[in-house]
Amino acid sequence: MPEVRSIAAGEIAGLKMLEEAAAWYQRAALAPHWATMSQMIGDDRNARAQQLAAGGVEELLALLPGTQRWTSPVLHLDYPTDKDLHLRGRGITLVPSYFCVGRPVTLVDPELPPVLTYPLEVTTVRPRRDALSDLLGGTRAHILRMVQVPRSTTALADKVGASPGSVSKHTKVLRQAGLITSSRRGATMLHLTTGLGRRLLAAETSGTPC
Q: Which residue, of 58, 93, 119, is where some domain finishes?
A: 119
- Evaluate if residue 126 carries a pLDDT over 50: no
Are 101 and 63 members of one domain? yes
- Give this prediction's pTM: 0.49
- Evaluate if residue 68 carries a pLDDT over 60: yes
Higher pLDDT, 106 or 124: 106
Work out the mean pLDDT of the chain and round it to a whole number: 80
Note whether residue 159 is domain-resident.
yes
Note whether residue 126 is domain-resident.
no
Supply the range of the domain harboring residue 140.
132-206
Q: How many domains does the chain have?
A: 3
pLDDT for residue 169 = 93
Are 165 and 199 members of one domain? yes
Q: What is the CATH number of the domain that holds 193?
A: 1.10.10.10
Note whether residue 127 is domain-resident.
no
pLDDT for residue 71 = 82
Are 6 and 59 members of one domain? no
Residue-wise pLDDT tens digits, 37-52: 887 888 788 888 888 8
**How would DSSP label each residue in the chain?**
-HHHHHHHTT-HHHHHHHHHHHHHHIIIIIGGGHHHHHHHHHHHHHHHHHHHHHHHHHHHHHTSTTEEEEETTEEEE--SS------TT---EEEEESS--SS-EE-S-TTSPPEEEEE---------TT-HHHHH-HHHHHHHHHTTS-EEHHHHHHHHT--HHHHHHHHHHHHHTTSEEEEEETTEEEEEE-HHHHHHHHHHHH----
Q: Which residue, of 95, 119, 143, is where some domain finishes?
A: 119
Higher pLDDT, 132 or 173: 173
Are 39 and 26 members of one domain? no
pLDDT for residue 30 = 81
Which band of pLDDT confidence, cut at 50, 70 and 90, is reported for residue 6? confident
Are 102 and 39 members of one domain? yes
